[in-house]
Amino acid sequence: MANTSDIRNGLVIDYNNDLFVIVEFQHVKPGKGAAFVRTKMKSLTTGKVLQNTFPAGSKINIQRVERRSYQYLYKDGNSYNFMHNETFEQIPIDEGLINSPQFLKEGQNVEIMFHAETESPMSCELPAFVVLEVTYTEPGVKGDTATNTLKPATLETGAEVNIPLFVEIGEKIKVDTRTGDYSERVKE
Protein backbone atom coordinates (compact mmCIF):
# COMPACT_ATOMS: atom_id res chain seq x y z
CA MET A 1 0.00 0.00 0.00
CA ALA A 2 1.38 3.39 -0.97
CA ASN A 3 0.90 6.71 0.79
CA THR A 4 0.52 10.35 -0.27
CA SER A 5 4.28 10.84 -0.75
CA ASP A 6 3.96 8.60 -3.86
CA ILE A 7 1.41 10.90 -5.55
CA ARG A 8 2.55 12.28 -8.91
CA ASN A 9 0.90 13.52 -12.10
CA GLY A 10 -0.49 10.69 -14.24
CA LEU A 11 -0.75 8.23 -11.30
CA VAL A 12 -3.93 6.12 -11.30
CA ILE A 13 -5.50 5.42 -7.91
CA ASP A 14 -8.57 3.61 -6.62
CA TYR A 15 -10.73 6.15 -4.75
CA ASN A 16 -14.40 5.63 -3.73
CA ASN A 17 -14.62 2.42 -5.84
CA ASP A 18 -13.65 4.31 -9.01
CA LEU A 19 -10.38 4.78 -10.89
CA PHE A 20 -8.96 8.31 -10.94
CA VAL A 21 -5.88 9.72 -12.64
CA ILE A 22 -4.03 12.52 -10.82
CA VAL A 23 -4.15 15.60 -13.04
CA GLU A 24 -2.28 17.91 -10.67
CA PHE A 25 -1.23 17.89 -7.04
CA GLN A 26 0.36 20.17 -4.47
CA HIS A 27 2.01 19.20 -1.20
CA VAL A 28 1.12 21.86 1.39
CA LYS A 29 2.87 22.35 4.74
CA PRO A 30 1.10 25.17 6.55
CA GLY A 31 2.92 27.01 9.33
CA LYS A 32 0.48 25.64 11.84
CA GLY A 33 -1.12 22.19 11.69
CA ALA A 34 -0.44 19.00 9.76
CA ALA A 35 0.74 18.79 6.16
CA PHE A 36 -1.66 17.68 3.42
CA VAL A 37 -1.73 16.96 -0.31
CA ARG A 38 -4.26 18.86 -2.43
CA THR A 39 -5.12 17.00 -5.66
CA LYS A 40 -7.18 17.41 -8.80
CA MET A 41 -8.29 13.99 -10.09
CA LYS A 42 -10.15 12.90 -13.21
CA SER A 43 -12.36 9.82 -13.21
CA LEU A 44 -11.40 7.32 -15.91
CA THR A 45 -14.93 5.94 -16.08
CA THR A 46 -17.06 9.11 -16.07
CA GLY A 47 -14.55 11.81 -17.02
CA LYS A 48 -15.58 14.02 -14.08
CA VAL A 49 -12.87 16.15 -12.46
CA LEU A 50 -12.80 16.11 -8.67
CA GLN A 51 -10.71 18.03 -6.16
CA ASN A 52 -9.69 16.22 -3.01
CA THR A 53 -7.38 16.82 -0.05
CA PHE A 54 -5.48 13.90 1.48
CA PRO A 55 -3.84 14.23 4.94
CA ALA A 56 -0.07 13.70 4.66
CA GLY A 57 0.88 10.05 5.11
CA SER A 58 -2.59 8.64 4.43
CA LYS A 59 -2.76 5.39 2.45
CA ILE A 60 -3.73 5.33 -1.23
CA ASN A 61 -4.38 2.34 -3.46
CA ILE A 62 -2.35 2.63 -6.68
CA GLN A 63 -3.74 0.84 -9.74
CA ARG A 64 -1.61 -0.32 -12.65
CA VAL A 65 -2.71 0.77 -16.10
CA GLU A 66 -1.05 0.14 -19.45
CA ARG A 67 -1.14 2.23 -22.60
CA ARG A 68 -1.09 0.23 -25.82
CA SER A 69 -0.94 1.39 -29.41
CA TYR A 70 -3.86 0.31 -31.59
CA GLN A 71 -5.02 1.10 -35.12
CA TYR A 72 -8.61 2.07 -35.90
CA LEU A 73 -10.29 -0.30 -38.37
CA TYR A 74 -14.04 0.37 -38.66
CA LYS A 75 -17.24 1.31 -36.83
CA ASP A 76 -19.89 -1.32 -36.14
CA GLY A 77 -23.06 0.13 -34.58
CA ASN A 78 -22.04 1.88 -31.33
CA SER A 79 -18.67 0.15 -31.07
CA TYR A 80 -15.44 0.97 -32.81
CA ASN A 81 -13.06 -1.85 -33.78
CA PHE A 82 -9.31 -1.53 -33.24
CA MET A 83 -6.33 -3.77 -34.01
CA HIS A 84 -3.22 -4.08 -31.80
CA ASN A 85 -0.17 -2.92 -33.80
CA GLU A 86 2.05 -5.84 -32.76
CA THR A 87 -0.19 -8.86 -32.07
CA PHE A 88 -2.92 -7.96 -34.66
CA GLU A 89 -5.55 -8.84 -32.03
CA GLN A 90 -8.83 -7.00 -32.64
CA ILE A 91 -11.02 -5.50 -29.92
CA PRO A 92 -14.28 -3.51 -29.96
CA ILE A 93 -14.40 -0.29 -27.89
CA ASP A 94 -17.62 1.44 -26.87
CA GLU A 95 -18.09 4.97 -28.24
CA GLY A 96 -18.29 6.43 -24.71
CA LEU A 97 -14.65 5.48 -23.98
CA ILE A 98 -13.24 7.43 -26.96
CA ASN A 99 -12.30 11.08 -26.31
CA SER A 100 -13.19 12.40 -29.83
CA PRO A 101 -14.83 9.67 -31.94
CA GLN A 102 -15.94 12.16 -34.63
CA PHE A 103 -12.29 12.63 -35.70
CA LEU A 104 -11.45 8.91 -36.06
CA LYS A 105 -10.22 8.03 -39.54
CA GLU A 106 -9.63 4.47 -40.77
CA GLY A 107 -6.01 3.41 -40.31
CA GLN A 108 -5.34 6.05 -37.61
CA ASN A 109 -3.22 5.08 -34.60
CA VAL A 110 -4.61 5.66 -31.09
CA GLU A 111 -3.60 4.81 -27.54
CA ILE A 112 -5.95 2.63 -25.51
CA MET A 113 -5.54 2.54 -21.74
CA PHE A 114 -6.15 -0.85 -20.10
CA HIS A 115 -6.59 -1.75 -16.42
CA ALA A 116 -3.69 -4.20 -15.93
CA GLU A 117 -5.47 -6.55 -13.51
CA THR A 118 -8.77 -6.97 -15.35
CA GLU A 119 -7.45 -6.37 -18.91
CA SER A 120 -10.48 -4.17 -19.54
CA PRO A 121 -10.22 -1.06 -21.75
CA MET A 122 -10.71 2.18 -19.80
CA SER A 123 -10.23 4.94 -22.38
CA CYS A 124 -9.13 5.54 -25.95
CA GLU A 125 -7.15 8.68 -26.76
CA LEU A 126 -6.57 10.11 -30.21
CA PRO A 127 -3.38 12.05 -30.92
CA ALA A 128 -3.59 15.71 -29.89
CA PHE A 129 -3.83 16.78 -33.55
CA VAL A 130 -5.18 14.95 -36.60
CA VAL A 131 -4.95 15.92 -40.27
CA LEU A 132 -8.27 15.65 -42.13
CA GLU A 133 -9.51 16.72 -45.56
CA VAL A 134 -12.31 19.26 -45.99
CA THR A 135 -15.10 17.60 -48.03
CA TYR A 136 -17.63 20.45 -48.00
CA THR A 137 -17.64 24.13 -47.19
CA GLU A 138 -19.17 27.28 -48.65
CA PRO A 139 -16.81 29.39 -50.77
CA GLY A 140 -15.21 32.32 -48.95
CA VAL A 141 -16.16 35.88 -49.88
CA LYS A 142 -13.24 37.88 -51.26
CA GLY A 143 -12.28 40.89 -49.19
CA ASP A 144 -13.94 39.64 -46.01
CA THR A 145 -10.64 39.07 -44.18
CA ALA A 146 -10.49 42.11 -41.94
CA THR A 147 -11.76 40.07 -39.01
CA ASN A 148 -11.13 36.50 -37.91
CA THR A 149 -14.30 35.24 -39.60
CA LEU A 150 -14.99 31.50 -39.60
CA LYS A 151 -17.26 29.34 -41.73
CA PRO A 152 -18.60 25.81 -41.07
CA ALA A 153 -16.96 22.88 -42.86
CA THR A 154 -17.57 19.13 -43.08
CA LEU A 155 -14.50 16.90 -42.83
CA GLU A 156 -13.87 13.46 -44.38
CA THR A 157 -14.95 11.73 -41.13
CA GLY A 158 -18.28 13.60 -41.11
CA ALA A 159 -17.26 15.91 -38.27
CA GLU A 160 -18.08 19.60 -38.52
CA VAL A 161 -15.64 22.33 -37.49
CA ASN A 162 -15.37 26.07 -38.07
CA ILE A 163 -12.54 27.06 -40.40
CA PRO A 164 -11.16 30.37 -41.76
CA LEU A 165 -12.60 31.76 -45.00
CA PHE A 166 -9.47 31.01 -47.07
CA VAL A 167 -9.69 27.21 -46.65
CA GLU A 168 -11.38 25.48 -49.60
CA ILE A 169 -12.79 22.02 -50.40
CA GLY A 170 -10.09 19.38 -50.88
CA GLU A 171 -7.53 21.07 -48.61
CA LYS A 172 -6.20 19.30 -45.55
CA ILE A 173 -6.39 20.93 -42.13
CA LYS A 174 -5.02 20.10 -38.70
CA VAL A 175 -7.70 19.76 -35.99
CA ASP A 176 -7.14 19.77 -32.23
CA THR A 177 -8.93 16.62 -30.97
CA ARG A 178 -9.10 17.91 -27.38
CA THR A 179 -11.15 21.01 -28.26
CA GLY A 180 -12.45 20.21 -31.75
CA ASP A 181 -11.03 23.48 -33.12
CA TYR A 182 -9.25 24.23 -36.38
CA SER A 183 -5.48 24.58 -35.83
CA GLU A 184 -3.85 25.21 -39.21
CA ARG A 185 -3.90 24.43 -42.91
CA VAL A 186 -1.55 21.61 -43.93
CA LYS A 187 0.52 22.10 -47.08
CA GLU A 188 1.60 18.94 -48.85
What CATH number does residue 138 fall under?
2.40.50.140
What CATH number does residue 18 fall under?
2.30.30.30
d(CA 147, CA 28) in angstroms, rounded, equals: 46
* Neighbouring-strand partners of residue 176: 129, 181
Pick from 46, 62, 78: which residue ends a domain?
A: 62
Q: What is the pLDDT of residue 99?
A: 83
Indicate the burial class of 39 (C-beta count within 10 angstroms; 0-12, 13-18, 19 or more): buried
Q: Which of 141, 188, 148 minimizes the C-alpha distance to 168?
A: 141
Same domain, 29 and 58: yes
**pLDDT digit string, tens, across residues 82-133:** 999 999 999 999 888 888 899 999 999 999 988 888 888 888 889 999 999 9
Q: What is the pLDDT of residue 156?
A: 92
* Amino acid letter, 22: I
pTM equals 0.74
> How many other CB atoms are there within 10 angstroms of residue 59's CB atom?
9
Q: What is the pLDDT of residue 145?
A: 61
Same domain, 88 and 52: no
Q: Is the pLDDT of residue 46 over 80?
A: no
Sign of CA dihedral 54, 6, 61, 69: positive
Same domain, 121 and 69: yes
Residues 6+ apart with CB under 8 A from 187: none
Q: What is the pLDDT of residue 167?
A: 86
Q: What is the pLDDT of residue 133?
A: 92
Q: Is the pLDDT of residue 71 over 90?
A: yes
Q: How many domains does the chain divide into?
A: 3
Pick from 80, 110, 125: which residue ends a domain?
A: 125
Q: What is the length of the chain?
A: 188
Whether the CB-CB separation of 113 and 123 falls below 8 Å is answered with yes
Compute the average pLDDT of residues 53-64: 90
Compute the average pLDDT of residues 1-23: 88
Q: Is the pLDDT of residue 144 over 80?
A: no
Which of the two residues, 96 and 175, has the higher pLDDT score? 175
